[in-house]
Every structure is written in structure tokens, then in C-alpha cells.
């Protein structure tokens, strides 16, 4: 109920998910607002139950205070349903800080974890062993807004969370994710003292589950190639880029802005001449594929990794298609056993955690609303 245009896109996305994939969805919110939306969509005959709530956490609410005070808010009730086993996952386009707060206060952090993080998958180029660009893969950026201030072991644990998620996303493969730490240069002397300490921690504690490649730069998010030239690592690309939530959110919003700039620039240039329009017509298959690669709605939402359950954070302006995709993503994560796999990985890498694996006091949620 807390999205920018709620509850229209949320209800329409739920209906799409039920009709297309047979998803089992419970709408949580004000029934007097949800029923008319179902009727407008001709979906009253669908088995979509409603859990009535009287309160809403808005984008302007303080996350922690709202979660504590608005006990009958749609977001809090949805998280409590997951905690009690009445639902398997939460999908929300509301206040992302409040989603984090609900994850911390209601679902709780995984044992031994310092802080959960928001993970976003972005497209990146893949290369052959000879260095030629051969396709498009995905790189996970973590954290993208949950934690403005972090400690070295927080970043180290983000590497564990991200690598585990990347492996779950490629079942049956022998993927050993490549994990990089975002800095202002590849040299070990670069970065802040916090980054250098995190780098030493990861470099001195090798993991059998992922390959830590050291410091990486912002450009490596989209087209990383391991230093040393073609053939060094058999091609591929960077699978996980680790950073704090402040930097990650800036990187994400910058990437989204750059994508919109390129799209608008191409549209403007094509309109200027018949020759450009003819060229665009000939390039239509390529442009259509590019649109699919950078499609934000196709991503659906971002998982909150590190809480004891599955929670998907959608953009406040998410369309119905994005909501439907987020529901499908949530189902995939539940089926893959995301939370148990992350818990097992944190335990296996307790040497990278606070105090050798002892959990630190709960952090104050600091995510901004997207």
C-alpha cells in the first residue's frame, strides 16, 4: 500500500502473476481499496485473498518508528505473516527503509550476520578466453541502500552473501563467483582505511566458494576483465561487486540515469532525419534486444539478503509487470532455499564475521526510499 501509485500497480501485478504462473498471492492492505481494483481488472473470481489492514507506512515516515508504531500497517502485517509461516515471502514497493526495518525487527538477521544488504543485478559483458566480447551476463551489486555506514567485516560478509546468491542463481553449474571490492583503483594501496582493512580480511581468508579478485573500479561493474589479459581466468566477468549502501545506491541511480540518457538521446537523434530513421529500422532487432537487457521492470525487485526469510524490495514507481516479475522472483528464491543457503554460508565463513561469527547489536535501518 505504500508505493507511489498504490494499490493499482500492486494489484494488477498480483493478478498477472496469478493468471500467468498460477502464483498464490495474498494482498495485504485496506480491503475497501483493494476490492475495487480487483473488480476493475475483472479478477474477482480469482483466488486472491485479502488480509485487511488499517494503516500504511508512507514514503515520508521514519522507517524504524513507523514499523514500531504502525502495528496494523500492511508492510508490518505482511512480514509477520512470513514469520508465522502464513506466507513464504514478502514483495513490497513501499518505503525501502521500512522494509529493512521489518526485516531486522520481525524476520531478524541470520545468525552470525552483521547486517543484511540490498542486492541488485545489473547487466555486464562476458568475454571468451581470448578476450572477445561474446554475450551479456549479470553482476550483483551489494549493498545498494541498506547500510550507509559499515565495518570491514560487514563488507566481507556481503561478499559471502553475494557469492552464495550468485551460485543459487546458476544451479547445476560449477560457478565459482568472482567477487570484487569497489574502490577508486585496482591497486591495494587505494581506497579508504576501511576498504583496505576489508581487502586484507578477504585476501587473507580465501574461500572455496568464491574467488576474491581484489579492488575493482566502477567501470568493472559492466565489463570487467581480470588483469593479466585474455586467457587468465577463462573469460567470463565479475559476478559480485561489494560496497557500502551509500556508494552502492549512488552507483545504481547513476547507472539508471545513464541508461535513460542514452535511450532519450537515441530517440532524439533518430527523429532528426529520415536516414537516421531508416538506420534505426535496420537496427530494430538489436535495439529491441538492448531494451530487454536494460529493462528495469524485467528485474522486478531487489532481494534483501541476510534476513531469515525472503523479502523483495521493488521501486516505488514499479509497474504491474515489475510487480508480477518480483512475485516470480520471490517464488524462485523460496524454491531455491535462499535463506537456509545464506545461513549455511555465514556459518561456514564465520571467520569473516564480527568477533569470529558472533552477531553484533542490531543496526539502525538507514535505507532511503527509492
Which residue has 507511489 as its cell numbers? 4
Provide the b/e sequence for 266-289 (b: ≥16 CB within 10 Å).
eeeebeeeeeeeeebeeeeeeeee
- The predicted pLDDT at position 289 comes to 82
Which residue has 573469460 as its cell numbers? 235
Query: 0.75 cut: is pTM over it?
Result: yes
Distances (CA, A) of 339 to 128, 166, 216, 274, 285: 33, 13, 28, 54, 39
Region 91-113: mean pLDDT is 95
Region 340-346: mean pLDDT is 97
Q: What is the rounded (10 degree) CA torsion for 109, 110, 115, 117? A: -100
Region 92-114: mean pLDDT is 95
| Crossing angle between the packed helical segments 338-348 and 152-168, to the nearest 10 degrees | 130
- The predicted pLDDT at position 229 comes to 52
- The predicted pLDDT at position 231 comes to 44
Give 356's pLDDT tier (boundaries 50, 70, 90): low
More confident residue, 363 or 29: 29
Region 304-316: mean pLDDT is 95
Region 358-365: mean pLDDT is 44
- 7 Cβ contact list (under 8 Å, min separation 6): 1, 27, 29, 30, 33, 34, 37
- The predicted pLDDT at position 172 comes to 63
d(CA 271, CA 60) in angstroms, rounded, equals 40
- The predicted pLDDT at position 292 comes to 76
Region 77-106: mean pLDDT is 95
d(CA 296, CA 122) in angstroms, rounded, equals 9
Give 286's pLDDT tier (boundaries 50, 70, 90): confident
pLDDT in tens, 230-271: 444 545 689 999 999 999 999 999 998 888 898 889 889 888
Predicted confidence (pLDDT) at residue 162 exceeds the cutoff of 50: yes
Region 149-167: mean pLDDT is 96
pLDDT in tens, 226-236: 665 544 454 56
Q: Give the helix ranges, DSSP H, for 63-133.
A: 63-69, 74-83, 96-102
Amino acid at each position: 500500500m505504500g508505493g507511489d501509485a498504490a494499490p493499482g500497480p500492486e494489484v494488477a501485478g498480483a493478478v498477472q502473476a496469478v493468471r500467468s504462473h498460477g502464483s498464490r498471492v495474498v494482498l495485504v492492505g485496506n480491503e475497501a481499496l483493494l476490492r475495487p481494483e480487483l473488480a476493475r481488472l475483472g479478477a474477482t473470481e480469482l483466488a486472491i485473498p485479502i488480509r485487511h489492514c488499517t494503516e500504511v507506512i508512507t514514503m515520508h515516515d521514519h522507517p524504524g518508528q513507523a514499523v514500531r508504531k504502525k502495528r496494523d500497517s500492511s508492510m508490518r502485517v505482511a512480514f509477520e505473516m512470513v514469520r508465522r509461516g502464513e506466507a513464504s515471502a514478502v514483495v513490497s514497493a513501499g518505503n525501502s527503509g521500512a522494509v529493512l526495518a521489518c526485516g531486522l525487527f520481525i524476520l531478524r538477521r541470520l545468525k552470525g550476520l552483521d547486517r543484511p544488504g540490498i542486492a541488485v543485478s545489473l547487466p555486464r559483458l562476458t568475454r571468451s578466453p581470448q578476450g572477445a566480447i561474446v554475450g551479456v551476463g549479470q553482476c550483483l551489486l551489494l549493498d545498494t541502500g541498506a547500510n550507509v555506514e559499515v565495518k570491514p567485516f560487514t563488507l566481507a560478509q556481503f561478499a559471502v552473501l553475494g557469492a552464495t546468491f550468485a551460485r543459487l542463481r546458476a544451479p547445476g553449474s560449477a560457478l565459482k563467483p568472482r567477487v570484487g571490492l569497489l574502490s577508486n583503483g585496482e591497486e591495494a594501496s587505494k581506497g579508504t582505511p576501511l576498504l583496505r582493512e576489508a581487502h586484507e580480511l578477504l585476501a587473507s581468508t580465501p574461500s572455496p566458494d568464491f574467488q576474491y579478485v581484489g579492488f575493482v573500479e566502477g567501470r568493472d561493474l559492466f565489463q570487467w576483465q581480470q588483469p593479466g589479459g585474455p586467457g587468465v581466468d577463462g573469460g567470463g566477468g565479475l559476478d559480485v561487486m561489494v560496497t557500502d549502501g551509500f556508494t552502492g545506491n549512488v552507483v545504481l541511480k547513476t547507472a539508471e540515469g545513464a541508461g535513460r540518457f542514452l535511450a532519450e538521446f537515441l530517440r532524439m537523434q533518430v527523429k532528426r532525419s529520415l536516414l537516421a530513421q531508416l538506420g534505426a529500422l535496420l537496427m530494430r532487432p538489436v535495439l529491441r534486444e538492448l531494451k530487454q537487457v536494460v529493462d528495469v521492470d524485467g528485474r522486478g525487485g531487489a532481494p534483501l539478503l541476510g534476513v531469515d526469510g525472503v523479502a523483495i524490495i521493488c521501486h516505488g514507481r514499479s509497474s504491474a509487470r515489475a510487480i508480477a516479475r518480483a512475485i516470480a522472483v520471490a517464488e524462485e528464491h523460496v524454491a531455491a532455499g535462499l535463506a537456509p543457503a545464506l545461513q549455511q554460508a555465514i556459518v561456514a565463513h564465520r571467520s569473516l564475521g564480527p568477533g569470529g561469527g558472533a552477531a553484533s547489536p542490531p543496526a539502525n535501518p538507514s535505507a532511503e526510499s527509492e
